[in-house]
Chains A and B, each alone.
Chain A
Amino acid sequence: MRLINLFKIAIAAIRRNKMRSFLTMLGIVIGVAAVIAMLAIGQGSNQSIRETISSMGTNLINVMPASQNRGGVQKGRSSSQTLDVADVTYLKNNSTLISAISPELDGSGQIVYGSNNWPTSIYSGNEEYSFIKKYEVESGRTYTTKEIKNAAKVCLVGQTVIENIFTDDVDPIGKTIRFNNIPFKIIGTLKEKGDNTFGQDQDDMILAPYTTVMKRLFRQTHLRAIVISAKSEEQITETSAEITKLLRMSHKLKDSEDDDFEIRTQEELISNFGSISEMMLVLLGSIAAISLVVGGIGIMNIMYVSVTERTREIGLRMSIGGKGRDILRQFLLEATLLSVLGGIIGVVFGIVTSNVVANLLAWPILITTDSIVLSFLFCTFIGVFFGWYPAKKASALNPIEALRHE
């Protein structure tokens, strides 16, 4: 049999049974589209969490006071005062692996400018702080070493703060705002960072020298945290081990004593949140797998029923000279055409659906080639296999039996 004739026969058969062809394709379209959309949502949120975490800092290591537990009373982290500026100096002088280090203090308060006021947060560190926490100056400048030394009342402001306390025509640089009644002169503005995955506005903040915050605002000597950059992502673990060792030495802890500080690395954050988002990915993946199986069973059913239904047609084709292999090829080609076409439509549909979800619900999505290839191959395979299998049986029939089939 000629290939061109085979195509003629298969296409004629598809057109003759439009409803059946449509239903077969529908099963595949839904299966493929569901998998692509589910994986896009799952992988999208996964990626967005990763991005958020890595936007938190450059190879970031956070050292915090350990929450104290004395006499069975959990006192909480904020009340422990085990870290101070001396620790920062000690680490800086003794560590070989640290690339940058800064004390960190933060807190919340009310900004007042003229008749406008706005509740926000203040973050503070030394001259390396911006590098470690990935803050970039948009206009103006950051504070100098001298300003840190003098505990100068200067600050940089985030975009949300600017929007809420200044009118459009005002240049914030040079203006003086009050934060919890302390006047701060604005020397620079920060580049927009946007919301993180947890919906937190990263631009709703001001940034000041830690000395100012320590001495003038909170009047405390202990730090909320020490933030450190490792030289590279690979060296984060090694660096935190070194920090642990150095801090235990400087805090003169005995071997029997627990650390009075706690180290959190960016990597740990990623793996913590990563495992949550991986769980979500698995969940969405299972939903996708279920829709694949359901779609697959649908395809299987229609293919199976259609071949049974068409046994008389098979009998006729054989009685006028169609060979078993001609019949089999015809059904295989029909199934392949439908499955591939359905698969392509499914891919398009899946991408469109993902983007609609992304736009309407503002969910992060990530469509990967893997998810497209995987779902496409799986569905077309099911379509082709279940088109082939019953046809294989039917084409082995005696033409007379097939013709008599009711």
Chain B
Amino acid sequence: MNKQTIIEINNLHKYYQVGDETVKALRGVDLSISKGEFVAVMGTSGSGKSTLLNILGCLDLPTKGDYFLDGENVKTLNRNQLAEIRNKKLGFVFQSYNLLPRTSALENVELPLLYNPLVSNSERREKAEQALIAVGLKDRMKHLSNQMSGGQQQRVAIARSIVNNPVVIFADEATGNLDTRTSFEIMALFQELNDKGMTICFVTHEPDIAKFTKRNVVFRDGFIIKDELIENRNNANHALAQLKEETYSFDN
């Protein structure tokens, strides 16, 4: 099968200057991700996962090395071009949701499209509604973000990340603030999106969560130490059902 490569990085380095000291967060990373993949980036805290994700997400630039996103060399782009790439090709899900407070779910999801001059008002409304339906929040579109549960807020954030039909979604510890059940629900949602063809790159330090993806890339001290495909990935819906059973038997 000839898969289309979406992300290609070669010998990527990222150094931070902290006072006199240089922190080498990434020290020569090679990675390529194809369309339709569901990758978990794993590793202990401080191993460089977020650093990598920020560079992949065009939020930060590498110190050294090349990054091709959807065939484009990111190094050659200026700030505005990077913003445009983020707006049209990428989706982000953060650990702390980062929704606008006192703003409806719908308006939060519409936000990326407001920055795209090619999208009309009616188109924007329709796309945002569809994204919210896709994440199972059909009935909560008008609810204010700060009046929703953590799981619901993260669903709104996921809807926001897919509203521009991106080539890839990046998620950094997207389940980090959620309990197990809600985490599984969110993973089920990601699996569903992935089944529909969405490419997802997912940072987590929890092996339990990584099991729901199709490929695990493990970091240590700024290097990839392991990169393996998961043959039989866990189905999050099954895990949820199992979790409910356990709770049920525990309750009895």
Contacts of A5 in B (CB 8 A): 114-115, 117
Task: Encode A298-328 as 1/0 by CB contact (under 8 A) with B.
Answer: 0000000000000011011111111111100
A2 interface residue per 8 A CB criterion: yes
Contacts of A399 in B (CB 8 A): 59
With A12-B107, A16-B102, A403-B94 known as contacts, the answer to whether A320 contacts B80 (CB < 8 A) is no
A9 interface residue per 8 A CB criterion: yes
Judging by beta carbons under 8 Å apart, are A1 and B101 in contact?
A: no
Judging by beta carbons under 8 Å apart, are B84 and A321 in contact?
A: yes
Judging by beta carbons under 8 Å apart, are B98 and A316 in contact?
A: yes
With A12-B107, A398-B60, A400-B54 known as contacts, the answer to whether A320 contacts B87 (CB < 8 A) is yes
Q: Which residue of B lies closest to A8 (CB)?
A: B114
Task: Encode B157-179 as 1/0 by CB contact (under 8 A) with A.
Answer: 00010001000000000000000
- Within the complex, which residue of B80, B86, B88, B100 is in contact with A313, where a contact is CB–CB below 8 Å? B100
Q: Which residue of B lies closest to A16 (CB)?
A: B102
Contacts of B117 in A (CB 8 A): 1-2, 5
B79 interface residue per 8 A CB criterion: yes
With A2-B117, A9-B114 known as contacts, the answer to whether A320 contacts B92 (CB < 8 A) is yes
Judging by beta carbons under 8 Å apart, are B100 and A316 in contact?
A: yes
B62 interface residue per 8 A CB criterion: no
Task: Encode B133-165 as 1/0 by CB contact (under 8 A) with A.
Answer: 000000000000000000000000000100010
| Complex alpha-carbon distance, A4 and B115, angstroms | 11
Q: Interface size class for chain A?
A: 20 to 34
For the complex, would chain A's binding face be called helix, strand, loop or mixed by DSSP majority?
helix
Question: In angstroms, how far is the closest chain B Cβ from the Cβ of A51?
Answer: 56
| Complex alpha-carbon distance, A325 and B160, angstroms | 22
Contacts of A1 in B (CB 8 A): 114-115, 117
B240 interface residue per 8 A CB criterion: no
Number of interface residues of B (CB under 8 A): 28
Judging by beta carbons under 8 Å apart, are B103 and A320 in contact?
A: no
In B35-78, the 8 Å CB interface with A consists of 54, 57, 59-60
- Within the complex, which residue of A4, A16, A320 is in contact with B160, where a contact is CB–CB below 8 Å? A320
Question: In angstroms, how far is the closest chain A Cβ from the Cβ of B33?
Answer: 20
B4 interface residue per 8 A CB criterion: no
Question: In angstroms, how far is the closest chain A Cβ from the Cβ of B47?
Answer: 18
B83 interface residue per 8 A CB criterion: yes
Contacts of B111 in A (CB 8 A): 317, 320
Question: In angstroms, how far is the closest chain B Cβ from the Cβ of A252?
Answer: 92
Contacts of B222 in A (CB 8 A): none
| Complex alpha-carbon distance, A318 and B83, angstroms | 7
Judging by beta carbons under 8 Å apart, are B102 and A322 in contact?
A: no
Question: In angstroms, how far is the closest chain B Cβ from the Cβ of A302?
Answer: 18
Question: In angstroms, how far is the closest chain B Cβ from the Cβ of A12?
Answer: 7
| Complex alpha-carbon distance, A315 and B96, angstroms | 13
B235 interface residue per 8 A CB criterion: no
B116 interface residue per 8 A CB criterion: yes
| Complex alpha-carbon distance, A16 and B57, angstroms | 29
Judging by beta carbons under 8 Å apart, are B112 and A321 in contact?
A: yes
| Complex alpha-carbon distance, A9 and B110, angstroms | 11
Judging by beta carbons under 8 Å apart, are A319 and B59 in contact?
A: yes
| Complex alpha-carbon distance, A93 and B79, angstroms | 90
| Complex alpha-carbon distance, A347 and B57, angstroms | 49
Contacts of A320 in B (CB 8 A): 86-87, 92, 111-112, 115, 160
Task: Encode A206-224 as 1/0 by CB contact (under 8 A) with B.
Answer: 0000000000000000000
In A367-403, the 8 Å CB interface with B consists of 398-400, 403
- Within the complex, which residue of A16, A312, A325 is in contact with B103, where a contact is CB–CB below 8 Å? A16
Judging by beta carbons under 8 Å apart, are A321 and B86 in contact?
A: yes
| Complex alpha-carbon distance, A321 and B161, angstroms | 11
Task: Encode B101-129 as 1/0 by CB contact (under 8 A) with A.
Answer: 11100010001101111000100000000
- Within the complex, which residue of A2, A324, A403 is in contact with B79, where a contact is CB–CB below 8 Å? A324
Contacts of B115 in A (CB 8 A): 1, 5, 317, 320-323, 326
- Give me the 6 closest cross-chain CB pairs, A-B, nearest first: A321-B87, A320-B112, A323-B83, A5-B114, A321-B115, A321-B86
Task: List, sorted by A's number, 19 A–B pairs whose CB atoms are closer than 8 Å.
Answer: A1-B117, A5-B114, A5-B117, A12-B103, A313-B100, A318-B86, A319-B86, A319-B98, A320-B87, A321-B86, A321-B116, A322-B83, A323-B79, A323-B80, A324-B79, A324-B80, A325-B80, A326-B115, A400-B59
Residue numbers of A with Cβ under 8 A of B are 1-2, 4-5, 8-9, 12, 16, 312-313, 315-326, 398-400, 403
